[in-house]
Amino acid sequence: MIDEWEAVTIEINQSIRESVEKLVNEWEKQTKYVILPEHYVFISELTSLVKQIDPNGTMLIGSLYDDLNAAKLFNGLSIDWNRKSEVKIIFAQCLGVARSLKTGISRIACRRKIRSNHPFLNEAIVQQNNLVFILMPFTENWSDYIWNKELQPIVEGISEANLICKRADDLYGADVMRDVYISIATAKIVIAETTGRNANVFYELGIAHTLGKDVILLTQDQASIPFDLNRYRHFIYSNDPAGYLRLRKYLPNAILSIIQNIESVDARSS
């Protein structure tokens, strides 16, 4: 079965309600004034509270955490802190989330198992806890080197994780897209190399995001990042020995961080 998410309504405990009440009472009138360092503190404190209440909410549209996500607070990484007007808008949106918490009731995300209704697949599938699936173009002059000499060896060389790394040309079924979909859906982590804005890569990346997969984004060129993906962290590396060295340092840490987060969420959900 595919891991998915549903919303449940919970009652916020008294201590959280008191924390939110204090935040709102202290800051709800501040949107009319200039942005101060204290506003950033408010956003950070509210985000911490929401993560405590709704640790799984990044995976669900309509959840409490998604409300903060809509306020451009995806893991706190997408705010341009130098753009005061943007922060002011975000601050006002965050106040809206905080005011909703004052009721003491909110919708949070919880895990469930569902059957896939995707056109490529209509049967249940099982997640592979050691699979990392790579989305990348095959025909670029750098593709085979990056795959054979960098990505696959880096991923499978992480001693703490015991991972298997595959890309689409490792699959031999009669229906290519069915195989790709199953690999994306069952992978523990998806890595997307978006250099050159390859249409197939972006199509498959859309599937991964729709399924709520943990995705690591790589590119050799910032210009390859389309507008809709600007909100997500990309690791930019160069196609040369210095860039490969940076990739070898970054990728294991990024993968282990995701695995630790998944295990932490699973522990809280069990």
With respect to residue 195, please indicate whether it lies within any of the assigned structural domains: yes
**pTM, entire model:** 0.58
Residues 6+ apart with CB under 8 A from 128: 164, 186, 187, 188
197-248 pLDDT per residue, tens: 999 999 999 999 988 899 999 999 988 888 888 888 899 999 999 999 999 9
Q: What is the pLDDT of residue 150?
A: 96
Q: Tokens 């895990």 belong to which residue?
A: 111
Of 64, 82, 111, which residue is a domain's last?
111
* CA-wise closest residue to 52 among 2, 5, 91, 16: 16
Question: Does residue 167 share a domain with residue 78?
Answer: no
Number of domains in the chain: 2
Q: Any bridge partners for residue 217, and if so which?
A: 192, 234
Question: Does residue 263 share a domain with residue 146?
Answer: yes
144-197 pLDDT per residue, tens: 999 999 999 999 999 888 899 998 877 765 677 888 888 898 899 999 999 999
Residues 6+ apart with CB under 8 A from 141: none
Question: Does residue 248 share a domain with residue 205?
Answer: yes
Question: Does residue 143 share a domain with residue 183?
Answer: yes
Q: What is the mean pLDDT of the chain?
A: 77
Does the pLDDT at position 268 exceed 80?
A: no
Q: Which domain holds residue 156?
A: 131-269
Q: Any bridge partners for residue 60, and if so which?
A: none
Does the pLDDT at position 74 exceed 50?
A: no
Question: Does residue 245 share a domain with residue 142?
Answer: yes
Does the pLDDT at position 62 exceed 60?
A: no
Question: Does residue 148 share a domain with residue 32?
Answer: no
Q: What is the pLDDT of residue 72?
A: 46
Question: Does residue 140 share a domain with residue 78?
Answer: no
Of 62, 77, 111, which residue is a domain's last?
111
Q: What is the dihedral of CA 241, 242, 245, 251, to 10 degrees?
A: -110
Give phi and psi for 43, each to the nearest 5: -60, -40
Question: Does residue 158 share a domain with residue 187?
Answer: yes
